[in-house]
Amino acid sequence: MLNAKKIREDFPILKRKVYGKPLVYLDNAATTQKPMQVIEAISRYYREYNSNVHRAVHKLSQEATEAYESAHEKVSNFIGAKGIQEVAFTKNATESLNLVANSLSRQLSKGDEIILTQMEHHSNMVPWQQAAKRTGARLKYIEIDGNGELKMQQLQSLINKKTKIVAFTHVSNVLGTINPAKEIISAAKDAGAITVMDGAQSVPHMPVNAQKLGCDFLAFSSHKMLGPMGIGVLYGKDELLEKMEPLLYGGDMVSEVSFEDAKWNELPWRLEAGTPDVAGAVGLAAAIDYLLKIGLENIHDHEKLLTKLAIEKLQQIAGLAIYGPEAERAGLASFSINGVHPHDVSALLDAEGIAVRGGHHCAMPLARLLGTFGSTRASFYIYNTAQEMEKLAAAVEKLAARMGKLRK
């Protein structure tokens, strides 16, 4: 296990109390907390070299440009891209996925097929629904089984010559399922389809190498990996990004403009119109440095242990349903207490200082499929401890017992 106690010293917010109780922050799938190293990097940018990037020769602008471009470099190395031409900064994973869906929809026509999974976050479902509506393409879904895993045997029968896009989440933000990305990508490739991987819940938590996996596109958000909100990443194979129509037009994304027309700048700048979030990029780079120092394998192992501990304890509580696979899974546990609305569960845990999230987690179709009006999700990260898992289980047990008595 990681030395979470030591790690916590870097996170000022974790020293805070809520309602007089120590904060137990278990809402990491929604967003993670930020270490001093990230806060300091952002603050230093504004204190010492805040300036707009590109096209200026003054010192501050040079420094800001260097920091901004080296953040691309850092991300490129972090996810195993070929180079910065394959890494475009966006606002978040949602914007990255919209950018891809919007752009790829120009290549779709009536009768083409897009394959998704039943466990997609709305961000990797709604953009494709809209693309299908615009083009007459058809959506097909890989179903999930009772264990919360994809029915992989369906994939071969779903994929055919009409399949143009296979878009899937690497890790489910509700079930914690780690999908067999390599297998999905290889099946899609055999059919000549483009693959889009939603890495919002995997890139922050485990080693993800885009080139090794072979995905065509990969989307994720900085704020779920210790970095600031407001910046996300779209990785794309350069030969595909070359062909991609930008979503936004304007400054910085052009190389030449006449009164009549414009030529696009080189990658990735042509996909980053307007003044970018330089402070965000600086913060993201600092977050990556922090994560690399700990090691992504170690992070994954730490979360596996925490999840095992949490689930073992939660399983002992009567009236509790836990969702997702039994075995290999990511660092979260979603559960329902018989007949209690997840918002009530979250509010009652909040009163104990425990921050979890209740609801459909932006995966409404999945919640319906599970036959629930949502779940309560506890999600873990590098600074969470075994003791916090015990606190969570004890609080849930108390709550379940109270609810049980009320029902009698």
Provide the minimum distance between the beta carbon of 63 and ligand PLP in the complex, in angstroms, as a whole number.
28
Smaller CB separation from ligand PLP, 65 or 117? 117
Contact 269, 54 (CB under 8 A): yes
- Region of residue 86 (phi > 0: left; psi between -120 and 50: alpha; otherwise: beta): alpha
Smaller CB separation from ligand PLP, 90 or 103? 90
Smaller CB separation from ligand PLP, 200 or 311? 200
Provide the minimum distance between the beta carbon of 123 and ligand PLP in the complex, in angstroms, as a whole number.
4
Instruction: Tell me whether strands 254-257 and 262-264 are parallel, antiparallel or unpaired.
Output: antiparallel
Contact 201, 207 (CB under 8 A): no
In sequence order, the 6+-apart residues with CB closer than 8 A to the CB of 19 are 350, 351, 353
Contact residues: ligand PLP, CB under 6 A: 29, 92-94, 121, 123-124, 169, 173, 198, 200-201, 221, 362
Smaller CB separation from ligand PLP, 22 or 180? 180
CA neighbours closer than 13 Å in the CB half-sphere of residue 207? 13
Choose among 200, 172, 199, 195: nearest CA to 183. Answer: 195
Smaller CB separation from ligand PLP, 296 or 403? 296
Provide the minimum distance between the beta carbon of 134 and ligand PLP in the complex, in angstroms, as a whole number.
21
CB neighbour burial string for 257-273, b if at least 16 within 10 angstroms, e if fewer = eeeeeeebbebbbbbbb
Provide the minimum distance between the beta carbon of 361 and ligand PLP in the complex, in angstroms, as a whole number.
7
Residue 230: what are its φ and ψ, rounded to 5°? 100, 0
Provide the minimum distance between the beta carbon of 400 and ligand PLP in the complex, in angstroms, as a whole number.
26
- At residue 218, the 3 state secondary structure works out as strand
Q: Kind and range of the H or E element at 5?
A: helix 4-8
Catalytic residue among 178, 337, 362, 393: 362
Q: Is 215 a catalytic residue?
A: no
Rounded Cα distance between 39 and 180, Å, is 35
Smaller CB separation from ligand PLP, 32 or 163? 32
Rounded Cα distance between 114 and 101, Å, is 10
Q: Residue 24: beta bridge partners?
A: 354
Provide the minimum distance between the beta carbon of 30 and ligand PLP in the complex, in angstroms, as a whole number.
6
Which are the catalytic amino acids? 362
